[in-house]
């Protein structure tokens, strides 16, 4: 991997979330960086892939530049050349693990999932993420299931009881749509709204949804 530095218009850089090492973009982080730009602060160079112009490090900085100065804004870019998407992603994860906003548990699990998809060897991930192998091994055991083809599925927090299992397509779709909060939280929210008479039952679709919920609960719990 080699590198060179020059300036480029932010709008010409490619934000490919498929190789982004964090689970989500932080709008709070973008706002803080945008405020810094407005104050005259010079942000560190963005790192990008020479061949594809994909951003390797600096997603939030790109969004901040776009918000404050628009796509024609010139910014310093460190261009690096990668042999493969796996190498690009491994470098992105390594950089994010080493500086700036710390990677959360969700971010680390996301990195493990993307790394496996791109063919980054599991043995490389402790060095990439600066974490002990036993911690990553535990995370793989607690946060992943698999699909019918043996491909790993990253589980939302509320569905980690499914770790290690083979999921159906219906279960995978349900996991993707899950909020991540446990079902007890959602059940108690509904109970609170109904018991305290704050539920707006005129809300379009709500009565139908509650009747469907009642039927599913009856089916799940039987005659209890």
Write out pLDDT tens, residues 134-153.
999 999 999 999 999 999 99
Over the stretch 154-166, which tens digit does the pLDDT of each residue have? Answer: 999 999 999 999 9
Q: What is the domain partition of the chain in residue ranges? A: 3-102, 183-221
DSSP 107: H
CATH architecture of 3-102: Alpha-Beta Complex (3.90)
By the 8 A CB rule, do 143 and 159 touch? no
Residue in 6, 14, 80, 76 with CA at minimum distance from that of residue 43: 76
Confidence of residue 1 (pLDDT cuts 50, 70, 90): low
Which pLDDT score is estimated for 29?
Answer: 94
CA end-to-end span of the chain: 63
Distance, CA of 158 to CA of 221 (rounded, Å) = 20
Model-level pTM? 0.79
């Amino acid at each position: 991997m080699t590198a060179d530095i020059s300036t480029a218009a932010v709008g010409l850089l490619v934000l490919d979330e498929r190789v982004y090492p964090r689970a989500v973009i932080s709008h709070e982080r973008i706002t803080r960086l945008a405020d810094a730009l407005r104050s005259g602060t010079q942000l560190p160079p963005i790192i990008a892939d020479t061949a594809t112009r994909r951003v390797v490090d600096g997603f939030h900085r790109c969004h901040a530049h776009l918000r404050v100065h628009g796509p024609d804004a010139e910014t310093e870019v460190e261009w690096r050349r990668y042999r493969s998407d796996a190498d690009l992603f491994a470098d992105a994860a390594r950089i994010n693990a080493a500086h700036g906003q710390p990677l959360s548990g969700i971010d680390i699990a996301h990195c493990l999932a993307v790394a496996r998809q791109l063919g980054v060897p599991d043995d490389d991930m402790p060095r990439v993420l600066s974490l002990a192998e036993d911690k990553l091994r535990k995370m793989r055991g607690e946060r992943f299931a698999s699909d019918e083809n043996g491909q790993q599925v990253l589980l939302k927090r509320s569905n980690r009881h499914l770790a290690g299992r083979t999921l159906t397509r219906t279960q995978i779709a349900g996991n993707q749509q899950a909020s991540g909060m446990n079902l007890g939280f959602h059940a108690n929210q509904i109970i609170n709204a109904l018991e305290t008479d704050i539920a707006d039952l005129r809300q379009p679709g709500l009565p139908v949804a509650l009747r469907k919920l009642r039927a599913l609960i009856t089916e799940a719990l039987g005659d209890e």
